[in-house]
Structure 1
Amino acid sequence: MLKKLPKENMGTSNLGWLESRFHFSFAEYRNPENVNFGVLRVLNDDIVHPKSGFDTHPHENMEIISYIVDGEITHKDSMGNQETLKRGEVQYLSAGNGIFHSEHNIHETKDLRLLQIWIYPPQKALPRLYGSQKFTKEQRENKLLNIVSSQKGNAPIKIYQDVEIYVSELEKDKIIDYKIEEGKQVYFALIEGTAFINGIELNDGDAMEITKEKKLEIKAIENAHFLFIEMEEQ
């Protein structure tokens, strides 16, 4: 089953310094029919304007992945980590019983765009994790790059939950096939460009819930930059 989710139907917010599109209920966007998709609780498409950002705030019992689309993010946290990441690079944390962090765009003129992904952990109070990975464009160009997996998986970034996260930048008319594992479902987000997903057109900002399917066929109509998350059916 393929359920297209046009970006026009998603929640939005504009705080001046921050513009967001919410795939699921978050902040002032409240929709009891759209709280999560399996273990995926949050997918926010955020634009953080220059010289602004998220000041120090807490998280607990959530696994959080930030995928940088454009610009630069500067991270600081209560575990002593501090770094700046750019396009295609990934930051992750498993907050366990508590972590404080801040995320800022310290650039003078350029916007920061990122996808902020929150995933329920398999249990509470797991040991805290933090890390990042500086992937290159070549690693995801016209191929699937597995950026996140469970502890048992093969991705460079390993979290506790049983998920696989893939990204790609696919040139016009290129096709990628992906076999969906039995008993799994997929949440697909088209970040930039236009593509057919199993014959259904998605444009930049659109998403799709994919259940009871055996494979994905992704065909770029224009150059297409996308991310998808495979997880247990629920």
Structure 2
Amino acid sequence: MFKKLPKENMGSSNLGWLESRFHFSFAEYRNYENMNFGVMRVLNDDIIHPSSGFDMHPHNDMEIISYIVDGEITHKDSMGNSEVLKRGEVQYMSAGSGIVHAEHNESTSKDLRLLQIWIVPPEKNLQVLYGSHMYTKDQRDNKLLNIVSSQEGNAEVKLYQDVNIYVSELEKGKDLEFPIEVRRQVYFIQVEGSSSVNGVTLDDGDAMEIIQERSLDIKALQNSHFLFIEMLES
């Protein structure tokens, strides 16, 4: 079963310094019929304008992944971490017992775009984790790159929850197939360009819920940049 989610039907916000597209109910976008997809609670497509960002703020009992689409993000937190991440790189936190952090676009001229993904952990008050990984373009060019997995998985970034996140930059006309195991489901985001996913066209910003299917058949209709989250069925 497929459910296409056009970007025009998603929640949105423009605070001047921050423009957001909300895949699920969040902040001023209140939709109690669209609270989550499985263990994924939040997926925000954020554009942070130059010389702005999120000042220090707390999180707890949530696993948070930031996937950088364009620009650079500067991170600082209460654990003493400080770093800058660029396109295709990943930052993560398992904010179990609590962490305070800040995220800024320190460029004076270039926007920062990122996908912010919140995953509900399997338990509360887990040990806090923070990390990042600087994946390269070669790793995702015309192939699937597993950027996030569970602790038992093979990705460089490991969460407590049983999820996998994959990305790819697929050249026009090329295709990929991904097998879906029984009782697993997928949330697919077309980040840039356009794709045909099991025969359904997705343009940049669109998404799709995939439930009770056994494979993803992805073909790039244009040069295509996409990300999907694979998890247990709800």
Letter of the aligned partner of 1:191 in structure 2? Answer: V
Q: Separation in 1 of the partners of 2:174 and 2:62?
A: 36
Q: Which residue of 2 aligns with 1:194?
A: 194
Shift of 1:182: 1.1
Measured against aligned partners, the alpha-carbon deviations of 1:96-122 in whole angstroms (never above 9, x if no partner) come to 111000000000100000000000000
Which consecutive segments of 4 or more residues in structure 1 shift more than 3 A? none
Q: Which residue of 1 aligns with 2:97?
A: 97
Shift of 1:180: 0.5
Q: Which residue of 2 aligns with 1:162?
A: 162
Q: Is the aligned partner of 1:183 residue 2:179?
A: no
**Pairs aligned (count):** 234
Q: Which residue of 2 aligns with 1:44?
A: 44
Shift of 1:181: 1.2
Measured against aligned partners, the alpha-carbon deviations of 1:19-39 in whole angstroms (never above 9, x if no partner) come to 000000000000011000000
Shift of 1:222: 0.1
Matched position secondary structure for 1:212:
coil
Measured against aligned partners, the alpha-carbon deviations of 1:123-142 in whole angstroms (never above 9, x if no partner) come to 00000000000000000000
**Within 5 A, what are the aligned runs for 1:6-155?**
6-155=6-155
Q: Separation in 1 of the partners of 2:106 and 2:117?
A: 22
Q: Separation in 2 of the partners of 1:151 and 1:37?
A: 21
Letter of the aligned partner of 1:21 in structure 2? Answer: R
Per the normalisation by structure 1, the TM-score is 1.00
Q: Is the aligned partner of 1:2 residue 2:2?
A: yes
Q: Separation in 1 of the partners of 2:25 and 2:31?
A: 6
Unaligned runs of 5+ in 1: none
Matched position secondary structure for 2:187:
strand
Matched position secondary structure for 1:139:
helix
Q: Separation in 2 of the partners of 1:62 and 1:215?
A: 29
RMSD of aligned alpha carbons: 0.3
Shift of 1:161: 0.1
Measured against aligned partners, the alpha-carbon deviations of 1:66-105 in whole angstroms (never above 9, x if no partner) come to 0000000000000000000000000000001110000000
Shift of 1:162: 0.1
Letter of the aligned partner of 1:32 in structure 2? Answer: Y
Q: Separation in 2 of the partners of 1:149 and 1:80?
A: 25
Per the normalisation by structure 2, the TM-score is 1.00
